[in-house]
Amino acid sequence: MSVLRDQLQPYDHIVLHHVTKKSTPNQQEPYSVPERLKESLNKINQHLSNSKTIIHAYYRATDAMLHYTFSIQSACESKELSMNIFHWRVNSQKLNTLVYRETERKLNELVTCHS
Tens digit of pLDDT for each residue in 72-96?
999 889 999 999 999 999 999 999 9
Instruction: Let me know if residue 9 belongs to a domain.
Output: yes
Q: Is the pLDDT of residue 50 over 60?
A: yes
- The fraction of the chain above a pLDDT of 90, given in percent, is 67
Domain, as residue range, for 23: 2-109
Q: Which residues of 94-109 are buried (b: 16+ CB within 10 A; e: fewer)?
A: ebbebbbebbeebbee
Q: Is the pLDDT of residue 12 over 60?
A: yes
Q: Is the pLDDT of residue 30 over 70?
A: no
Domain tally, the chain:
1
pTM beyond 0.85, yes or no: yes
Tell the burial category of 33 from Cβ atoms under 10 Å away from its Cβ (0-12, 13-18, 19+): buried
Instruction: Let me know if residue 8 belongs to a domain.
Output: yes
Instruction: Let me know if residue 114 belongs to a domain.
Output: no
